[in-house]
Structure 1
């Protein structure tokens, strides 16, 4: 067998699915809006050109911040800002069709240079933005009366702000629902858990992008186009902070993977064993609906679960740690946890590793403080050593062997999750 692919690569082999629907929906919305805009004419060309340019630039400088999705905060803020224009400086605000058409064309204008330059790009996420901005524009226009304009009164200001907030919130909720459905299909996460994760992310990164959009809309609507560059400055700072965070995440992940390879180099685990165990552990964690932070800790724990073996006298034959005595495995887990704790930032990972060899009957069954992630690593490692490279057992035979240890060695909930994951066709 070949080395284990990444989680993203494994799911990509299953086809786009919902991604295709999103691309088609976004394309149809864009084309229809473009035809309608061409028929009725473009209003306020200067606003359309400036906000379109911001969206395109935002697309060109998009980046991956959370390991699974590209982000384009400037493009999102600019699109939301354009959808909520309404003030003294805007003679005739753009309608829904024009908002969608400008967003769609600008999105394509930003994607093309990235594709030509060979940079990573994610059209599905970009077209999700087109759909969510269309919803924001529809809500904004639906809440405000026809030809509403701000005359300086407090009452109208409240109505305008409420409409803007509702529009931005509706865009976030729609994007969260679409994203949750996509995660459910691609990663087999329970929909409630996927929606929870999307809403949490919306409350973090999405809130910053929404506020940026409102600032752009307010500045341009009440002061004029010259206010837009001033508002873009904090957006650029936000973009810089997001990129620094993404860079730190990548460095962190690379460091953990390098540490994990030390056991393979020393012969205490077979080549690719840690990566295969982590891939399976992540698949089980997705099935059980763990939060993103717990998923990250689970992946790191699975990668580093064999570090403690380096303190043992000799490697196991073929890296099969299950051939060692219970005492040796638990001592290795304790040593590994101590090593991980010395990093000062992986305490939860260390706790998972410390209990990753505890028998379920004498561990989590009697002590709820032991994380379920420890049981996941235990089951994932056992399955990998039975089915992984050079082991020779079939998935059915491995499941039968693991099934004999349900309730004693292995957590029943985790084993049942493993059955579902394997039943859906998971392969190393």
Structure 2
């Protein structure tokens, strides 16, 4: 349309042309976000709403920068020719390089946190793989409840390090299960764990979630409720009942959580956990 002159005839070369290009780019980006969320929904089975929200949030950052660069490139090439493309392509390439560096740093940070979380397993305070199981299941429950991607990252970090306070115990508790302990002892472990987490450089919200594991669930933030319920389920499903008939331990563990929703666990979190566990990826204890 630009080369045939129709676009110039309709809109001229002023602000109307810029507005038209921005509108086309915005519509394209919106369609891309809708399709990306739909594909993620079909691939993972996660709720569509939170997936679309995360895609739209991404557009306000790097997406808007890319759209603005596209408009500038289109207008510049129309005036100066194709030689401007290599010059204008340099900033997006630098952005891509910076983004990859940021992603690598994030991955390294997560590996460091996961290694720190394994210290309780190496010391014999918790079963092998417990922190990883709680983190994976907590993230799935958080996504089911509609948490954003940044909130899911904080939730995952807190779930990985939720038992770090057990390193203060003289003698490990059986199977690392803190749920049967007295509430005062649970709170002491949680506070010590939060103090350790604050020294790791992770966001302060992670330490708050760890510190408030022993609080009444009505006073806890949602992420702390999720970690507490998932931890209790994982401990119960991996306990002595796990040796019973196939599938008995997970069902009994979930039933115990449901019976304790009046006092210890958020009913919405427990039901979200049940929904996640009903999916094929979580149809058996891990």
Q: Same fold (TM over 0.5)?
A: yes
The reply to whether residue 300 of structure 1 matches residue 150 of structure 2 is no
Matches within 5 A, 1:190-339: 190-339=47-196
Instruction: Describe the superposition over 1:32-52 as per-residue Cα deviations: whole angstroms up to 9, x where unpaired.
Output: xxxxxxxxxxxxxxxxxxxxx
Q: Deviations over 1:312-335 (max 9, x none)?
A: 111122222234332222111110
Distance 2:271 2:136 in 1: 17
Confirm or deny: 8 A CA contact 2:50 2:143 kept in the other structure: no
Do the aligned residues in 2 keep the contact of 1:340 with 1:346 (CA within 8 Å)? no
CA separation of 1:255/1:295 partners in 2, compared to 1, >3 Å: closer, same or farther? same
Q: 1:258 to 1:390 in 2, by over 3 A?
A: farther
Contact 2:50 2:147 (8 Å CA) reproduced: yes
Counterpart CA distance in 2 for 1:171 and 1:154 is 20
Aligned to 1:399: 254
Deviation at 1:274, TM superposition (A): 0.4
Q: CA deviation at 1:345?
A: 3.7
Query: In 2, Cα distance between the equivalents of 1:168 and 1:411?
Result: 43
Q: Structure 1 residue 178: deviation in Å?
A: 1.4
Matched position secondary structure for 2:179: helix
Deviations along 1:227-278, whole A, 9 cap, x unmatched?
A: 1111012112211221221111111111111111111101111110000011
Do the aligned partners of 2:135 and 2:157 also contact (CA within 8 Å) in 1?
A: yes
- Which runs of no fewer than 5 residues in structure 1 stay unpaired? 1-84, 93-146
Match of 1:111 in 2: none
Distance 1:163 1:203 in 2: 19
CA distance in 2, matches of 1:189, 1:154: 43
After TM superposition, the score normalised by the length of structure 1 is: 0.61
- Contact kept, 8 Å, 2:11 with 2:17, in 1: the verdict is no
Change (3 A) 1:298 1:246: same
Q: In 2, are the aligned partners of 1:187 and 1:283 still within 8 Å (CA)?
A: no
Provide the C-alpha distance between the structure 2 equivalents of 1:183 and 1:287, rounded to a whole number of angstroms. Answer: 14
Aligned length: 278
| Residues 1:182 and 1:409: Cα distance change in structure 2 (over 3 Å) | same
Per-residue CA shift, 1:378-405, capped at 9, x if unaligned?
0100111122387615322111111110
Matches within 5 A, 1:8-407: 86=2, 91=3, 147-150=5-8, 155-360=12-217, 364=218, 367=219, 370-388=220-238, 392=242, 393-407=248-262
- Determine the structure 2 residue equivalent to 1:10: none
- Are 2:139 and 2:155, in contact at CA under 8 Å, matched by a contact in 1? yes
Moved more, 187-196 or 280-289: 187-196
